[in-house]
Structure 1
Amino acid sequence: MSELYEALAPFYAELNGDVPYARMAEYVQKCFSSYFEGEVRDVLDLGCGSGNMTFPLLSLGYSMIGVDASENMLAEARDTRRGDEILWLCQDMRSFELYGTVEGVVSTLDCVNHLLRREDVLSCFSLVHNYLVPNGIFIFDVNTPYKFKHIYGENSYVLESESAFCVWQNFFDERRGRCHFAVDLFEENEKGLYERRSADREEQMYTPRQIRSMLEKTGFTVLSVTDDYTDSLPTETTERLTFVARANKEM
């Protein structure tokens, strides 16, 4: 899973420049204020990548921890302005360890879909629950079945930036609910020639009912399910669901 991210690390921000991270961070802040009784100080960004969500949350005043399985992505994050103000940990989201508890956990841009087995999701959710304070808030998103079937499907895409372009091919197995991505990244070198890097990854489709069941099984209460970091209810063509859940724990 981290092979693709390591190949994309220098260009991740360019290739994802249209993601509204600031708006997403403001939505997270609103949810923390609405659902947590007390002050949210410490927040974990799980599957943080190069910190595209971590830094906006830092700017909102939270003390941030970033966990990601790719050392290259974390190196990009550390080299960013204010990168030394964040604790970066190179760990797998299925088996991560923290030094203490946090009031909030976020995991954005379909990190949960990267967990290919329900056992992996349950392990991740259990650890999130373990490191949240009582009534702590977990906010994350998943790609919808609509996106897997109609946006991913068997489609191919070309993503371009000034210094790179990426050929992205999808192969969706509807029976297994799994999408295979073949990614070719072409990077311009100092001689003006393009060097090719290739990687594969997979994402697993989970229905809203399955996600809700796994949250409840690991000690969470689902507070809201909305359309992509907004207050709008999901529709049949929603591509990303945002879950907000509370950790049920004794004080």
Structure 2
Amino acid sequence: MGDPSYQHLAPAYDLLQQDLAPSAWADYIQKLEARFSLRCGAGDGQDGRTLLLDLGCGTGSISLEMLRRGYDIIGIDVAAGMLEQAKSKAARMRADDDASLPEPLFLQQDISQFELYGTVDLIVCLLDTINHLVRPDRAARLFRLCANYLNPGGLLVFDLASRRHLSRTLGNRQFFQIYENHTLIWHNRYRPASQISRSEMVLFTRRTDGCYERQDIAIAEKYYSPKQVRQWSRAAGLQLIDPASGSPEDSRTAIPPPAPAAERRFYIARKPQANEGLSYESE
């Protein structure tokens, strides 16, 4: 996630995302890469493996599934607690499953200002992460940074929460979730004028002495339209591709996304190769 408020949600985050199905998301990413990536030659990872950058990696569920599939991983998140969970999960996975797996690199950075030492072959930014950048200039800067660090022909795969998700599914509603050691009370407000959804949460976590510790959490997400995404992509020098039609490629079979399209809109942007110009659908 790109929101520092997720720091306090870290201990309970995987419970809240227990329906995530990382394998389905990894399948989707790999299918998109196989169809649309034009990257040539060996990857920038160790021994020529594909180097994947996961922006807003959270507790690393999708990153680590991609690691299992042979990718080298860099995960970036602003919340230290999320990264601690990701590192612990990676250590357990390497100890229990395969000690030969490369160690992922998890970095605590703001995804709208991240810095790397070199380029990467594939970038993902999933689970509404960009919506947490409620200032459009920060979102635009993220696209420019992705274009800067992405190898020619490589893909940026991302999703954005739909207007329906923010205004109706979350809307002006209250949620109450109880787990064995955590209880979450969630009050949501959506403002049509700003198109910002604000969530005020109270998380109670049971301690070893049986008492509960309270954390107050505030999270905001902003709706961004497809037109805005096209503008950011064009300004960054990225070519936006429609995963359903395959434009500008001839792709007759749609790749189904891993989550309902009514709740999230999925995008692919590609960094053009040196001899490839930009093309866009009409707005």
Same fold per TM (> 0.5)?
Answer: yes
The answer for unaligned runs of 5 or more in structure 1 is none
Correspondence for 1:245: 269
* 8 Å Cα contact 1:140-1:244 kept in structure 2: yes
* 8 Å Cα contact 1:113-1:143 kept in structure 2: yes
Q: What do residues 144-183 of structure 1 show as CA deviations (whole Å, max 9, x unaligned)? A: 0111111111011112222102111111110011111101
**2:161 paired residue among 138, 143, 146:** 143
**1:194 paired residue among 203, 212, 217:** 212
Correspondence for 1:31: 32
Shift of 1:26: 0.7
The answer for unaligned runs of 5 or more in structure 2 is 44-49, 95-101, 245-253, 276-283
Shift of 1:225: 4.8
The correspondence of residues 1-251 of structure 1 with structure 2, limited to 5 A, is: 2-37=3-38, 38=40, 41-80=50-89, 81-82=92-93, 85-225=103-243, 231-232=255-256, 238-250=262-274
Q: TM-score, normalised by structure 2?
A: 0.82
Percent of aligned positions that are identical: 31
Give the paired residue count. Answer: 246
- Write the distance in 2 (CA, Å) between the matches of 1:93 and 1:9: 17
Classify the secondary structure of the residue corresponding to 2:14. helix
Max Rg structure: 2
- Write the distance in 2 (CA, Å) between the matches of 1:94 and 1:237: 25
- Write the distance in 2 (CA, Å) between the matches of 1:209 and 1:121: 14
Shift of 1:184: 0.6
- Write the distance in 1 (CA, Å) between the matches of 2:194 and 2:119: 36
RMSD (Å), alpha carbons? 2.0
Q: What do residues 114-152 of structure 1 show as CA deviations (whole Å, max 9, x unaligned)? A: 111211111000000100001110001100011111111
Change (3 A) 1:120 1:210: same
- Write the distance in 2 (CA, Å) between the matches of 1:82 and 1:191: 29
Correspondence for 2:249: none
- Write the distance in 1 (CA, Å) between the matches of 2:3 and 2:30: 29
- Write the distance in 2 (CA, Å) between the matches of 1:25 and 1:125: 22
Shift of 1:248: 2.3
- Write the distance in 1 (CA, Å) between the matches of 2:81 and 2:54: 17
Q: What do residues 221-243 of structure 1 show as CA deviations (whole Å, max 9, x unaligned)? A: 111256xxx8349xx97110111
Q: What do residues 181-234 of structure 1 show as CA deviations (whole Å, max 9, x unaligned)? A: 1011010111222221101111111112211221122111111256xxx8349x
